[in-house]
Structure 1
Amino acid sequence: MFSFKALTIWAAASAIPLIFAVSPQAYTWKNVKIGGGGGFVPGIVFNPKEKGLAYARTDIGGAYKLNADDTWTPLLDFADDARWNYWGVDALATDPVQPNRLYLATGMYTNSWDPNNGQILISTDYGKTFTASKLPFKVGGNMPGRGMGERLAIDPNNNAVLYFGARSGNGLWKSVNFGSTWTKVSSFTNTGTFIPDASDSSGYNSDKIGISWVTFDSTSGSSGSSTPRIFVGVASKGSNNIFVSNDAGSTWSAVAGQNTTFIPHKGVLSPAEKALYVTYSDGAGPYDGTLGSIYKYNIATSTWTDITPVSGSDLYFGFGGFTVDLQKPGTIMVAALNSWWPDGQIFRSTDGGASWSPLWAWASYPTMNKYYSYSDSLAPWLGPNYVDGTAGNLQIGWMMESLVINPFDSNHWLYGTGATIYGGRDLLKWDTTHNVTIKSLADGIEETSIQGLISPPSGPTLLSAVGDIEGFVHTSLDSAPATSFLNPKWSTSADIDFAGNKPTNIVRIGTGDRYVPKSLSYLSKN
């Protein structure tokens, strides 16, 4: 989701009369339900110690905490106009020692669109309240490469220690006091070289992506002492991009034998296997990525194995989200970062990547075998509420940089897309009947760019103009709209208004259209 500023949709429970003198009215203000997401969800993180504890981060919509009923609670609704860049969350870390501790690296842009430096938001009460630790550089929650990570990591053996990988060539930073203060790690000198588009005069695509992720090897240390082995991935192509320290960050060296063709997006530890899994793409994401690979690093033997699930003409995407099943060592999953056609793709392996099974496969073109059932009942505007077996229907999703298996429940999985969070609670059926349930599970996450709101004196309570997903007629504030605006259909509704003398006449304008001329007005008379 691309936006200069993110706003939560708010609306009054009663309509506003268009008269000059009115009696005072009592209003109840609350979040309007869209039903799930509305934009890119680049990160989902489960806590490895406390059962059921998970968080999601978004690029312009703040951070959220998972509830027991699969809904999500927003954590950053307190952010006002002066703190609008809190809504761009570039990294998230939940404490593996004291689960009540939560850290968010926030800031919207690293170019001139956001004049503010970033900050680490620190919570000791599961995100109910935060204090801010200011950083001396910008953070890019809505910049290219925002699906990499996590860039923020907590030492699992000494949780007072945190590392944060910065953008823009600012390097690796460390805190030894639970994030209160930060110092640059001077011994780590590689800050990444990849720039998406050096010719971009706006600075949005011409900034260095920087450090991709930080991963502690929890098996190398003991409780109470700083973890000796730390892996760091940086956004570079054609040169070393994965580094390791074996002395708790004092010195660093390139990991021998690594692949340098692509950019490392994720570095995920499998403790029981004593292995580091790395996903690669030829772009920073989340929109790009046409080639990639997956490698498995055996820490004990210092050897790399290419475990990429497809090759040749079947490999037309990079790889993003990756997860390991902590209950079943060797069971792993990976998502295609950007398979725009015929659909997204997710692969699963139960033997550490030696063999893979896909979420869909070709029958005979254009028919696809889709090994899942599908429900978008919580957000019906996402599309048809059934499995479409023909090519070209992006039902699984796109921009899939987040993918997780609940560390306490092998059946429970979640993944983020460019529009919502999907997942289910029967994942182990993948390995038996090879058919799982996929549901929209982002209820409570409203991650949208609001371009306009109106509440006419008659008709629906609220009409919204929304970036990327058109906007909606909200007949109820407590249930998701059935569909977005359709005729005409633009990628973004830029604004909406009604005629004061005839409020049933609604005008909507749009940009980035695919079906009608840009900025063509739509007049409603219903």
Structure 2
Amino acid sequence: MKWGGGGYVTGLIYHPTSANVMYARTDIGGAYRWNNSNGSWTPITDGIGFNAGEGSFHGVESIALDPANDNKVYLVTGMYSHNWDGTPINGRIYASGDRGASWTHYDLPFPVGGNEDARAIGERLKADPTNPSTLFYASRTAGLWKSTNSGQTWTQTGLSSKVLTAAEIQGLGTAPVGVEQIVFDNSNVGGGATTWIMYAAIAPDYVQKAGLSSTMYKSTNGGFSWTPVPVPSNVSGYFVPHMLRTSDGNYYVVFNKNAGQGAQGPGYLYRFGGVTNGETWAQLATTTQGGYGGVSVYGTGATARIALAVTGTWSAGQPVVQLSDNGGATWREIADGMQHWGGGYRGWVDDIEIDPANKDHIMHVHGGGVWETWNASAASPSWDVPLNNFEETATLALVTPPAGAPYKFVNSAGDIGTWVQTDLAATPTRAPTSAWSNGNAADVLWSDPTYIVSAGALNGSPAVSFGSWSGDGGNTWSNFATLPAGASANTAESASIATAFRNNAIWAPANSVPSYTTNNGASWTSTNLPALSAVGINRGYRLAVDRKNPNKVYAYDSGGASWSNLAGKVYVSTDGGHNFALSQGSVSANLAPNGWNATSLAVNPNVEGDLWLADGNAVYHSTNSGASWTKLNGFATIAANGSTGQMQGASVIALGKAQAGASYPAAVYVVGAMNGVWGVYHSDDGGATWARFNDDAHQYGGIGVMAADWNSYGRIYFSGVGRGLVYTN
């Protein structure tokens, strides 16, 4: 599906000597390489090395490029530095010698937080410019680390040996920021010698825990030992989101009072002389409207062009991108009022880059992707969206309509809400709301797919649930006038909604007893389904309407979690979803307990009572409305490759148009592990035989949701980890 961005791009990285080589990193959607020849992005973390069951490694915290070899790129990955109890989660480093076409990875001895606060900080991973097999990593919880063999093994530097404990991490009350970055005092490239002098910026949380005396330190012996560097008193205790060195030996250092994306200020930009220029400080800019995020410099001295990203400003008339063409002596705003943000997070302008080959080409990140101008020198520069093939939305639910419907599918996604897709090559325009929201679930009326129901939540503090219906294929929408029991208190994604007749809906909010309406939400009545007991994570019922006999509605309780010891159960209604009875056959089947995101229920719209279920471990088929279930052979949960995680035996199931002449009236697709190999599998004969549908180069870190097309045999739509919606024929 074409959306264009939709997620937080946390950094843009140009190669220091090959300006046409550029990469972008994201917080949950992996990394991309820019294709300068056609103005598009190539995803580089979809395949081999980024295996299924390892979606956490689609959170990229930092990228480093070998300055002596523009084919070599490193990624440090891991979404979260710690569990809920503060227990550290170590990350990985990936290395590629062919610009991301293939990868080798190594486990790291320190945690990584690619989707935590302050994730747009300047690159934590740096390669020594003259000896690029030497890498340094500024970690969140364990100080500054060094590798002398391209990331294969690591040791702590002499900056500090302090490793934050789980209790200390919890005590911070927010994500640790730690050592923020280092910059080498060296403009040379290659040669094999060591760069001895370098500066490190350190966040105040680690300064305090490690007993350090400044937020900046210097090493003159390649990182073996470090001495404090005094910073200006007005920025003492501030964070340093970005810092860079220009060829004249000067450093440009951004200070901000607060950490994190869209952090408020005050912010300051200083020029620091470094060892070349006497280590003096000169203030160049300050703001009390928002804070400062990124900085980029083209040229040197009094004629240097400096682009400064202002973060945390949300209203017209506030600074967004400040530009100086005289080394910081004067500034002008070049982005406010240009109306180029669309639905993105204007306030998350946390990295900015001037094209090293063209000073009029400036790009900045934000919460919805990337924006750029090609005429930065103009009095009023124009801005555009360089997001072709860059997709970072997170789909939570997906439903396809019957053949001949006036749209392709309904996509319920995190942050961007619910959308009706009519053209796969164009960004959708039909939605219940364009506000910042989560779409949790949707369904279409099989007998009349112009009737659509959806459930979601407006994001904010707190989030606010809402449900909507459309009677004209998504062109116009009306909100349900009231909410069912449980919806106000439960806005989580483990929710389901179904429609059996026009003006009728059954809504199962997370952690709640489902309710039904017969009047488009003017009133709701609770069903007789049992309440769900707590299991430590959100749970919910999955609802599905029998498309041949809509009086039959099925509700699947997956048990909530693998540790719950609550076997999965299926309930059946014969009065349109008002009252349900337990399927004793599902009890006899002994369905595995698993979480919402590891389970699935699908109905064959061509045959009454024909159901398919994935309980996280295996596939089950019922031909009698759930009275009895047959477990299919071959699917079983396995350990993820090189990981402590696991790949579910069967987590998603979808049905679509049958192959011409097939013995079964639907094609069946399953995401799972069959005979020890994870993949997408399909069957044309009702599960008698299976063939793998994808290959190892197309794993996307795992697949969260999937739906099959009823117009075209072989077409499926699915979500990778933070990779939007992908389709294949």
TM-score bin, normalised by smaller chain: 0.7 to 0.9
Q: What SS class does the counterpart of residue 472 from structure 1 fall into? A: strand
Q: What SS class does the counterpart of residue 81 from structure 2 fall into? A: coil
Q: What SS class does the counterpart of residue 464 from structure 2 fall into? A: coil
Q: 1:277 to 1:208 in 2, by over 3 A?
A: same
Q: 1:427 to 1:484 in 2, by over 3 A?
A: farther
Q: What SS class does the counterpart of residue 252 from structure 2 fall into? A: strand
Deviation at 1:172, TM superposition (A): 0.8
Counterpart of 1:450 in structure 2: which amino acid? T
Which residue in 1 is equivalent to 2:100? 127
Correspondence for 1:302 among 250, 258, 279: 279
Deviation at 1:171, TM superposition (A): 0.9
Which residue in 2 is equivalent to 1:94? 65
Stretches of structure 1 that go unaligned for 5 or more consecutive residues are: 1-31, 362-369, 377-381, 384-393
- Counterparts of residues 435-450 of structure 1 (less than 5 Å): 435-450=380-395
- Following the alignment from structure 1 to structure 2, what is the Cα–Cα distance between the partners of residues 191 and 100? 35
Q: 1:484 to 1:91 in 2, by over 3 A?
A: farther
Which residue in 1 is equivalent to 2:16? 48
Correspondence for 1:461 among 408, 415, 421: 408
TM-score, normalised relative to structure 1: 0.79
Counterpart of 1:262 in structure 2: which amino acid? Y
Q: 1:495 to 1:191 in 2, by over 3 A?
A: farther
- Counterparts of residues 217-366 of structure 1 (less than 5 Å): 217-219=185-187, 223-236=191-204, 240-258=214-232, 259-272=235-248, 274-299=249-274, 300-310=277-287, 315-326=288-299, 330-342=304-316, 343=318, 345-359=320-334
Which residue in 1 is equivalent to 2:673? none
- Following the alignment from structure 1 to structure 2, what is the Cα–Cα distance between the partners of residues 517 and 305? 44
Correspondence for 1:71 among 8, 18, 40: 40
Q: Report if the CA contact (8 A) 2:27-2:119 is conserved.
A: yes
- Following the alignment from structure 1 to structure 2, what is the Cα–Cα distance between the partners of residues 440 and 267? 26
Counterpart of 1:46 in structure 2: which amino acid? Y
Which residue in 1 is equivalent to 2:119? 146
Instruction: Tell me which structure has the larger Cα radius of gyration.
Output: 2
- Following the alignment from structure 2 to structure 1, what is the Cα–Cα distance between the partners of residues 363 and 289? 24
- Counterparts of residues 25-36 of structure 1 (less than 5 Å): 32-34=1-3, 36=4
Q: Report if the CA contact (8 A) 1:497-1:508 is conserved.
A: yes
Counterpart of 2:52 in structure 1: which amino acid? D
Q: 1:190 to 1:268 in 2, by over 3 A?
A: farther
- Following the alignment from structure 1 to structure 2, what is the Cα–Cα distance between the partners of residues 207 and 125? 34
Which residue in 1 is equivalent to 2:358? 409
- Following the alignment from structure 1 to structure 2, what is the Cα–Cα distance between the partners of residues 275 and 484? 51
Deviation at 1:174, TM superposition (A): 0.9
Stretches of structure 2 that go unaligned for 5 or more consecutive residues are: 473-729
- Counterparts of residues 474-489 of structure 1 (less than 5 Å): 474-481=421-428, 483=429, 485-487=431-433, 489=435
Q: 1:428 to 1:116 in 2, by over 3 A?
A: same
**Percent of pairs identical after alignment?**
29
What CA deviation, in whole Å up to 9, does each residue of 1:110-143 have, x standing for no partner?
A: 2226985210111110011111110123211101
Q: Report if the CA contact (8 A) 1:245-1:253 is conserved.
A: yes
Deviation at 1:517, TM superposition (A): 9.1
The one of the two structures with greater contact order (alpha-carbon pairs below 8 A, sep at least 6) is 1
Correspondence for 1:470 among 417, 440, 448: 417
- Following the alignment from structure 1 to structure 2, what is the Cα–Cα distance between the partners of residues 337 and 221? 33
What CA deviation, in whole Å up to 9, does each residue of 1:406-463 have, x standing for no partner?
A: 112212221100112000222233xxxx221210112221112211111111231122
- Following the alignment from structure 1 to structure 2, what is the Cα–Cα distance between the partners of residues 427 and 407? 14
Counterpart of 2:23 in structure 1: which amino acid? Y
- Mapped pair 1:496 → 2:468: no
- Following the alignment from structure 1 to structure 2, what is the Cα–Cα distance between the partners of residues 90 and 323? 19
Q: Report if the CA contact (8 A) 1:469-1:484 is conserved.
A: no
Deviation at 1:81, TM superposition (A): 3.2
Q: Report if the CA contact (8 A) 1:192-1:236 is conserved.
A: no
Q: What SS class does the counterpart of residue 263 from structure 1 fall into? A: coil
Q: Report if the CA contact (8 A) 1:192-1:241 is conserved.
A: no
Q: What SS class does the counterpart of residue 347 from structure 2 fall into? A: coil
Q: Report if the CA contact (8 A) 1:214-1:232 is conserved.
A: yes
Counterpart of 2:54 in structure 1: which amino acid? R
- Following the alignment from structure 1 to structure 2, what is the Cα–Cα distance between the partners of residues 53 and 262? 33
What CA deviation, in whole Å up to 9, does each residue of 1:198-245 have, x standing for no partner?
A: 9978x8x53421111121122489732111211111111795111111
Q: Report if the CA contact (8 A) 1:166-1:210 is conserved.
A: yes
Which residue in 2 is equivalent to 1:104? 75
Counterpart of 1:356 in structure 2: which amino acid? W
- Following the alignment from structure 1 to structure 2, what is the Cα–Cα distance between the partners of residues 318 and 494? 33
Which residue in 1 is equivalent to 2:454? 508
- Following the alignment from structure 2 to structure 1, what is the Cα–Cα distance between the partners of residues 75 and 17? 19
Correspondence for 2:154 among 182, 185, 208: 182
Q: 1:120 to 1:415 in 2, by over 3 A?
A: same
Deviation at 1:496, TM superposition (A): 1.9
Counterpart of 2:217 in structure 1: which amino acid? F
Q: 1:219 to 1:516 in 2, by over 3 A?
A: closer
Moved more, 205-214 or 107-116: 107-116
Which residue in 1 is equivalent to 2:372? 423
What CA deviation, in whole Å up to 9, does each residue of 1:471-513 have, x standing for no partner?
A: 32221222222x3624485521122222345443322111235
Q: Report if the CA contact (8 A) 1:192-1:211 is conserved.
A: no
